[in-house]
Homo-oligomer: A and B are copies of this chain.
Amino acid sequence: MAASPGRTRSEAARRAILEATRLELTERGYDKLSIDRIASAAGVGKQTVYRWYPSKSALVAEGVLHGHLLPVVVLPDTGDVRADVARWLGSLAGLGANSETAALIRATLAATAEDAVVAASYDEQVTAVTRSALLARLESGVAAGQVRPDAPVAVVVESLIGVVLFRLVTRREMGPEFVDDLVELVFGGIGT
């Protein structure tokens, strides 16, 4: 497949870099990432890292987000939209309780906050997946008569992701009551 002459790029090296990056990110966070350390931990030349990823943010964007580092939380479909959303939120809350995962997400978010390219990537890769899943579920909820047809579904997605991330960033876990209240808010509103 490699049409050009010379040695083919090592996929193994690329994976080692990503793995080392994940470790660094978990243990030290985004702004203490060191390419030197990653390269050395991955047993790889620094140049190889730069060949794959032109910058620290690209490494995080391409590597961390694409690299399946963030566990995917499945939104179930039991027929009861409200219960499904509640269970899904509960799982997210559980993610936050794992300190390694929480650190990884925080690091990703820091990268997002500091780099527009990462932000775009994040939006495409993470939010998009969640959004479409949630959207589909809510629409089937509409079909089942459990959600109003004119509900601002897009805003629901933003709000739920927003609140989850906000709690993660400020290191305040979401307990069961919080999740319940959040579901109550989304489905019932606060108006009289």
Contacts and interface: CB of A to CB of B under 8 A. Distances in A.
Interface of A is mostly: helix
A107 interface: yes
A95 interface: no
Given A146-B191, A163-B163, A152 B185 contact: yes
A71 interface: no
Contacts of A159: 159, 162-163, 182, 185
Interface stretch (A10-18, A35-43, A62-70, A112-120): A112-120
A188 B187 contact: no
Interface residues of A, number: 53
A181 B154 contact: yes
A164 to B, nearest CB: 7
Contact of A162 (B113, B120, B152, B166): B166
B186 A122 contact: no
A151 B185 CA distance: 7
A77 interface: no
B189 A30 contact: no
Contacts of A114: 29-31, 106-107, 110
Contact of A167 (B31, B152, B158, B171): B158
Q: Name the residue in A107, A167, A192 with the highest tally of chain B Cβ atoms < 10 Å from its Cβ.
A: A192
Contact of A184 (B116, B123, B152, B185): B152
10 contacts: A31-B114, A112-B170, A119-B171, A120-B171, A152-B184, A154-B181, A155-B181, A159-B162, A162-B167, A166-B166
> Which 5 residue pairs spanning A and B have beta carbons closest together?
A189-B189, A152-B181, A162-B166, A162-B162, A151-B190
